[in-house]
Structure 1
Amino acid sequence: MTSVSAYLGLFFSALLAATLFPAQSEAVLLALLHAGQQTPWLLWLVATLGNVLGSLVNWWLGLLLLQPRVNQAWWQPSEQRLQQAQAWYRRYGRWSLLLSWMPVLGDPLTLVAGLLRERLVVFLLLVSLAKGARYLLLIALAQAWLD
């Protein structure tokens, strides 16, 4: 696998993994680390950028879903569900985006942030911090295990 295709594969697996589609970027990252042909810090950067961009897709979808022209029958959140999400987000606030790295919880959380109109700068800062830290920890653990 060429270096460019390895980085592209990692980027797109990380992007897809951050959306609401089920995918795993960690396996791709670990395989590339194990192969030892790419620079670990560049793998970290590519995985983080892809994963943050995938979360940005969720945020953007959240912004769009409550627009009257988009809010069709297939997406009609009940007023109760919307109020529950708003109450939860108000209770835990934007800091809950630091959990955006977590499986199952993280992806819907980024969608809710869009639904509730979290500011883009705040969203990007907190999600980048969370996702970057997760990949950094994964790389550090993998390198300690591989050495």
Structure 2
Amino acid sequence: MEAWFESVLALLALPKFGLSSVFLVAFVSATLLPMGSEPFVFGLVKLNPELFWSAILVATAGNTLGGALSWAMGYGAERAYERVKHKPMELHALQWLERFGAKACLLAWLPVVGDPLCAVAGWLRLPFWPCVVYMAIGKFARYLTMTAALLWWFPGGL
């Protein structure tokens, strides 16, 4: 078992498989699992500065696909459970999301509420492709801002 675990770690090790690792971590962190992918992006860019834009784009793609999966899970959950009784606060949040529609998915980058937001967008049957486009824009802006800021604040490393 220990040898298997070491082989998995070696497979995901930076920088040899850095971009695939960043994609996988970004994808998983966009689901409802509590995980952040920014440290992985920062680590790869710190070890390989020439991969800055590649890492940003790969992380954005992985995180957006993870958000799309959350959307699909919400859509499937809503179809399985057509009617639900909502508390007033839940109704207010759902009305807000319905009012802004797919554009609300720009906020999918937010910690804590961003990933469930994608699932709720699916639950409300907001249009898939516009939601994915808005998710991608928000997630790209987050990765670009976070990675650039970390590189600026820690130019010599952590």
What is the TM-score of this pair, normalised by structure 1? 0.84
Q: Which residue of the partner structure matches residue 51 of structure 2?
A: 39
For 2:135 and 2:19, the matched residues in 1 are separated by 21
Residue 53 (1) aligns with residue 61 (2): no
Q: Are 2:97 and 1:122 equivalent residues in the alignment?
A: no
Larger Rg: 2
Shift of 1:4: 5.3
**TM-score under structure 2 length normalisation:** 0.79
Unpaired runs of 5+ in structure 1?
none
- In structure 1, distance between residues paired with 2:18 and 2:83: 40
CA distance change for structure 1 residues 78 and 18 in 2, over 3 Å: closer, same or farther?
same
- Aligned counterpart, 1:79: 85
Percent sequence identity is: 32
Aligned pairs, number: 141
* Residue matched to 1:9: 21
Alpha-carbon distance in structure 2 between the residues aligned to 1:51 and 1:15: 5
Q: CA deviation at 1:37?
A: 5.9
Say if 1:58 and 1:114, in contact at 8 Å, map to a contact too: yes
Tell me if 1:29 matches 2:35. Answer: no
Structure 1 counterpart of 2:10: none
Report the RMSD for the aligned CA atoms in angstroms.
Answer: 2.3
User: What is the alpha-carbon distance in structure 2 between the residues aligned to residue 10 and residue 136 of structure 1?
Assistant: 14
Q: Structure 2: 5+ residue runs without aligned partners?
A: 1-12
1:107 alignment partner in structure 2:
115
Which residue is 2:146 aligned to?
138
2:103 to 85, 95, 107: 95
Counterpart amino acid of residue 50 in structure 1: G
Name the CA distance, whole Å, in 2 between partners of 1:113 and 1:8: 28
Deviation at residue 80 of structure 1 after TM alignment: 1.7
Kindly state the Cα deviation for residue 81 of structure 1 after the two structures are TM-superposed: 5.1
